[in-house]
């Protein structure tokens, strides 16, 4: 039985020539499943072997979402939020994972809803360890410690593909393609998601990445330059609230962005070494010159290494590297988020015009036009 049937999601006519027939959901009929939903391990490296429904959400403006726990063959677990926008306007889904230290709530939930509001189905993959699940056996602790000390961007990126291998069959969108966004470590995973796509038979149409850290390994002599980063970032946090659209929703909702659960904080610590070793940049080196990508960096971001990203993509004609004033935390500024929404609307409109023929997309209307750059 397909999971859509278990959730009582009834697909209408399939997608034909890019004309999207969005599935109809009765979100009020959903309830957590007690039994595990297993999948036979396939030929991919680390397939999903278990899914469990946690929660459902119906939003009058944005659409229907449900949160599940996906367990991989190696025992890694992820919170995954899948959704159907109220008005679906694209057959290509958006997939992203969260920045280091953050949960699926707060800022990331807001990002998901922004993308839904543009008409895209979204698959949000939470961070490693984001859902606390402590081992209960000696064998479990052994696997837990192994996974804790082996958290890499490469695995995150490939597991995102493994998760899409499941959601591709839920009749929510046309399988085989994806759009990727990402911020901070999520941007590094985005580099890997694009780089490893062909291994999973998937085409990444476009990537929109923000404040991706460490294009190269952090040298010992560069470490002192990061000493003043905390002070700058704290000031930026104030700017995000004081210069943005300050309202009750933001003040009450955004604090949920941080995940301070000890289970997750251990995984955060385990994720840092591969970032410092420049794995984001290593994955970027695998990306072909035909990639369509927008990279946003900030002048005072000590982790950004903007000039290194320029060097890596100097032979990629469809990659735009945009340097803005600000620090790492300024990735959450309204004007940064609004600029990304503008690019995604442009892509949505181009997809509607192209009707499944992606070669017809005019990227000047997405991320390469001068007016798009100025808007950012």
What b/e string do you get for 193-203 counting C-beta neighbours within 10 Å, with b at 16 or more? bbbbbeebebe
Query: Any idea what the Cα angle at residue 136 is, between residues 133 and 140, rounded to 5°?
Result: 85
DSSP state, residue 115: H
Answer whether 208's CB lies under 8 Å from 181's CB: yes
List the single range of 29-43, 159-173, 207-221, 275-289 with lowest mean pLDDT.
Answer: 29-43
Cβ atoms of residues 352 and 89 within 8 Å: yes
This prediction has a pTM of: 0.84
Q: How many residues does the chain have?
A: 376
Q: Which two tokens stand for residue 45?
A: 């490296």
> What are the tens digits of pLDDT across the range 86-139?
999 999 999 999 999 999 999 999 999 999 999 999 999 999 999 988 989 999
Query: Looking at the domain that runs over 3-375, which CATH code has it been given?
Result: 3.40.50.1820
pLDDT at position 255 is 79
Beta-carbon contacts of residue 168 (< 8 Å; ≥ 6 apart): 175, 176
Q: Strand pairing of 63-72 and 77-85? A: antiparallel
Cβ–Cβ under 8 Å, residues 125 and 97: yes
Residue 16, phi then psi, degrees to nearest 5: -130, 120
Q: Which residues pair with 180 in a beta bridge?
A: 95, 207
Q: What is the pLDDT of residue 129?
A: 92
% of the chain with per-residue pLDDT over 90:
62
Looking at the DSSP bridge assignments, the partners of residue 323 are 297
* 68 beta partners: 53, 80
Q: What percent of the chain has pLDDT over 70?
A: 77
**Beta strands, E only, 122-226:** 122-125, 177-183, 203-210
Report the range of poorest mean pLDDT among 3-7, 106-110, 146-150: 3-7
User: At residue 182, does pLDDT exceed 50?
Assistant: yes
CA–CA dist 216, 291 (Å, integer) = 20
Tell me how many degrees the CA angle 122-123-127 measures, rounded to the nearest 5.
135
The whole-chain average pLDDT of the chain stands at: 83
Pick from 163-172, 241-250, 326-335: least confident: 241-250
d(CA 78, CA 128): 6
């Amino acid at each position: 039985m397909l999971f859509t049937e278990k959730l009582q999601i009834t697909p209408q006519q399939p997608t034909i020539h890019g004309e999207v027939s969005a599935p109809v959901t009765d979100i009020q009929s959903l309830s957590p499943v007690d039994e595990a939903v297993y999948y036979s391990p396939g030929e991919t490296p680390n397939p999903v072997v278990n899914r469990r429904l946690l929660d459902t959400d119906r939003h009058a403006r944005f659409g229907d979402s449900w949160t599940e726990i996906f367990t991989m063959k190696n025992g890694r677990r992820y919170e995954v939020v899948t959704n159907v926008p109220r008005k679906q306007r694209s057959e290509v889904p958006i997939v992203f994972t969260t920045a280091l230290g953050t949960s699926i709530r707060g800022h990331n939930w807001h990002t998901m809803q922004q993308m839904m509001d543009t008409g895209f189905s979204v698959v949000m993959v939470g961070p490693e360890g984001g859902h606390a699940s402590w081992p209960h056996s000696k064998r479990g602790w052994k696997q837990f410690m192994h996974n804790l000390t082996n958290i890499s961007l490469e695995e995150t990126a490939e597991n995102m593909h493994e998760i899409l291998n499941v959601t591709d069959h839920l009749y929510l969108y046309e399988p085989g393609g994806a759009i990727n966004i990402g911020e901070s470590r999520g941007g590094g995973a985005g580099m890997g998601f694009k780089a490893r796509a062909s291994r999973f038979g998937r085409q990444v149409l476009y990537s929109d990445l923000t404040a991706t850290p460490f294009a190269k390994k952090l040298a010992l002599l560069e470490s002192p330059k990061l000493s003043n980063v905390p002070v700058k970032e704290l000031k930026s946090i104030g700017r995000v609230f004081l210069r943005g659209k300050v309202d009750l929703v933001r003040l009450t909702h955004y604090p949920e962005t941080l995940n301070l659960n000890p289970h997750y904080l251990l995984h955060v610590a385990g994720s840092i070494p591969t970032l410092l070793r420049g794995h984001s940049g290593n994955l970027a080196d695998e990306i072909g010159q035909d990639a369509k990508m927008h990279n946003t960096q900030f002048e005072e971001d000590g982790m950004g290494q903007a000039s290194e990203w320029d060097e890596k993509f100097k032979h990629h004609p469809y990659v735009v590297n945009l340097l803005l004033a600000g620090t790492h935390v300024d990735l959450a500024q309204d004007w940064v988020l609004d600029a990304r929404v503008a690019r995604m609307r442009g892509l949505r409109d181009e997809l509607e015009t192209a009707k499944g023929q992606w070669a017809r997309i005019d990227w000047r209307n997405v991320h390469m036009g001068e007016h798009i750059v100025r808007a950012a």
